[in-house]
Amino acid sequence: MSMDLLIINAANIVTCVEQTGENIIEKGYVAVKDGLIYEAGKGEAPKEFVGAETIIVDATGKTVTPGLVDAHTHLVHGGSRENELPMKLGGVAYIDILKAGGGILSTVRNTRDASKQELKTKAKQSLKQMLIHGTTTVEAKSGYGLDFDTEIKCLEAAKELNSEQPVDIVSSYMGGHAVPPEYKGNTEGYMDFMAQKVVPYVAEHKLAEFLDVFCEEGVFTPEESRNILQVGKEHGFGLKIHADEIVPYGGAELAAEFGAVSAEHLLAASDEGIEAMAKAGVTAVLLPGTAFYLMTGKFARARKMIESGVRIAIATDYNPGSCPTENLQSIMTFACFGMKLTPEEIIKAMTINGAYAIKREKEIGSIEKGKKADLVIYDAPNINYIVYHFGINHVDKVVKDGKIVVDNGHEKEKCVDEFFNR
Ligand code: IZC
Ligand code: ZN
Is residue 284 within 8 Å of residue 256, measured between CB atoms? no
Going by C-alpha positions, the residue among 128, 220, 209, 143 that lies closest to residue 418 is: 128
Task: Decide whether any atom of ligand 1 lies within 6 Å of the 354 Cβ.
Answer: no
Atom of ligand 1 nearest to the CA of 144: 1
Distance, CA of 35 to CA of 255 (rounded, Å): 35
Distance 398 CA to ligand 2 centre (A): 26
Is residue 376 within 8 Å of residue 356, measured between CB atoms? no
Give the Cβ contact number of residue 319 at 10 Å. Answer: 24
State the average pLDDT over residues 87-101. 95
CA angle 221, 94, 141 (to 5 degrees): 65
- By residue count, the chain amounts to 422
State the average pLDDT over residues 293-298. 95
Give the ligand at the shortest distance from the Cα of 321. 1
pLDDT tens digits, 230-267: 999 999 999 999 999 999 999 999 999 999 999 999 99
Atom of ligand 1 nearest to the CA of 94: 2
- pLDDT at residue 394 is higher than 70: yes
Distance 416 CA to ligand 1 centre (A): 29
Distance 322 CA to ligand 1 centre (A): 6
Atom of ligand 1 nearest to the CA of 98: 2
- pLDDT at residue 21 is higher than 90: no
Task: Decide whether any atom of ligand 1 lies within 6 Å of the 122 Cβ.
Answer: no
Task: Decide whether any atom of ligand 1 lies within 6 Å of the 107 Cβ.
Answer: yes
Task: Supply the DSSP symbol for 104.
Answer: H
pLDDT tens digits, 178-206: 999 999 999 999 999 999 999 999 999 99
Distance, CA of 25 to CA of 59 (rounded, Å): 13
Distance, CA of 104 to CA of 145 (rounded, Å): 10
Give the ligand at the shortest distance from the Cα of 106. 1
Task: Decide whether any atom of ligand 1 lies within 6 Å of the 103 Cβ.
Answer: yes
Q: In the prediction, which pLDDT does 410 show? A: 43
Distance 244 CA to ligand 1 centre (A): 13
Give the ligand at the shortest distance from the Cα of 212. 2
Task: Decide whether any atom of ligand 1 lies within 6 Å of the 227 Cβ.
Answer: no
Task: Decide whether any atom of ligand 1 lies within 6 Å of the 321 Cβ.
Answer: yes
Distance, CA of 385 to CA of 305 (rounded, Å): 26
Task: Decide whether any atom of ligand 1 lies within 6 Å of the 143 Cβ.
Answer: no
Mean pLDDT of the chain: 96
Percent of the chain surpassing pLDDT 70: 95
Atom of ligand 1 nearest to the CA of 177: 4
Distance 381 CA to ligand 1 centre (A): 36
Q: In the prediction, which pLDDT does 422 show? A: 59
Distance, CA of 190 to CA of 179 (rounded, Å): 7
pLDDT tens digits, 273-293: 999 999 999 999 999 999 999
Give the ligand at the shortest distance from the Cα of 95. 1
Task: Decide whether any atom of ligand 1 lies within 6 Å of the 111 Cβ.
Answer: no
Task: Decide whether any atom of ligand 1 lies within 6 Å of the 319 Cβ.
Answer: yes
Distance, CA of 236 to CA of 98 (rounded, Å): 31
State the average pLDDT over residues 104-121. 98
Q: In the prediction, which pLDDT does 22 show? A: 74
Distance 118 CA to ligand 1 centre (A): 21
Give the ligand at the shortest distance from the Cα of 72. 2
- pLDDT at residue 298 is higher than 50: yes
